Amino acid sequence: MDTSMAVLAGPASVALGAKVCEELAVTPTVYDARRFPDGEGQIELGESVRGRDVFVIQATSPPADVHVMELLLLADACRRDGAERITGVIPYLGYARQDRRSSRRSLGARVAANVIDTAGLDRLVVIDTHTPAIEGFFASPLHHLTAVPLLANATPVRDDSVVVAPDLGAVKRARQYARLLEVPTAIVHKTRLDGEAVEASDVIGDVRGRAPIIIDDMLSTGATIAAAVTAVRARGAVDPVTVVVTHSLLVGHAREILPPLGLAAIVSTDTVAIDPPANLRFSSVSVAPLLAEAIRQLHVTRPW
């Protein structure tokens, strides 16, 4: 076992972190995460990380504020114990959708990046953020991984399949899937009305008589997927309808919105720890091998 490496599976990523450690053949570093009666959190390491190359695996998934603070506390405990280098491995990066300011709104992605930068992390590893440009918000070097090949390999494909981008922001990702799956693409023109409601007004591309594979970076409230399914069916798309996303949050009314859509399958990853509804055909692809390989490569870049 490589004792120069230490891997901490944060409270938001305990199961995924354990899988990554299994891939790396290391034992997860022990720590105690306490929460005091007033709600404050505290991290205490159960073993020394002095002089070690530390990797902290912690998704900043809902509740994002809590999980961001846990990431900061984990990193701070390691830094104060004398870690040689600390890498933040963030499978799902919260606040990434707040990357553009409009009217008098706050710029959440920049605020979150500034806060995470204060943790003293030497570098970051993320998976399929909402936009690759998010890297510019961070002072630390950021390694952007993608789960698209893993998900494409797990996606059922037919001769009449078509990859559908549910909005213009997903077009580049849709083309990646289409190239890997060797099927055509279509695009839904979507307008967001508020935090949960969206409206699909048009479909660009031929979906008539085809089985849609709707792809996106995340499945949050389900409103975007529902609008896309309605739009392509109105244009003549046929069952089965498959949804493929990297991050499944299933927040808001997602658990009520999705089952009536009659989806054949939802293919996602384990970047976010959730309990999928029993009335959804949900399959999960683990990103543990992807993260383990990234950690392995980052660790060997310097002799410890």
Q: How many helices (H) and strands (E) does the chain have?
A: 8, 14
- Give the mean pLDDT per block of 10 residues along the chain (304 residues): 88 98 97 96 97 97 96 98 97 92 88 93 95 87 96 96 93 96 92 60 91 96 93 95 97 94 97 92 96 94 53
Same-domain pairing of 76 and 101: yes
Same-domain pairing of 64 and 142: yes
pLDDT of 282: 94
Same-domain pairing of 138 and 20: yes
Is 172 among the residues known to form the active site? no
pLDDT of 301: 56
pLDDT of 1: 56
pLDDT of 302: 57
pLDDT of 127: 97
Given 52, 85, 190, 299, which residue is catalytic? 190
pLDDT of 199: 64
What is the dihedral sign for C-alpha 216, 219, 223, 227? Answer: positive
Domain that holds residue 254: 149-285
Same-domain pairing of 124 and 246: no
C-alpha to C-alpha distances, 163 to 16, 158, 238, 246, 250, nearest whole angstrom:
28, 11, 13, 15, 22
CA-to-CA distance for 45 and 43, rounded, in angstroms?
Answer: 7
Domain CATH code at residue 95:
3.40.50.2020
> Does 304 fall in a domain?
no
Q: Give the predicted TM-score (pTM) of the model.
A: 0.93
User: Which residues make beta-bridge pairs with 85?
Assistant: 53
Same-domain pairing of 58 and 124: yes
> Does 191 fall in a domain?
yes
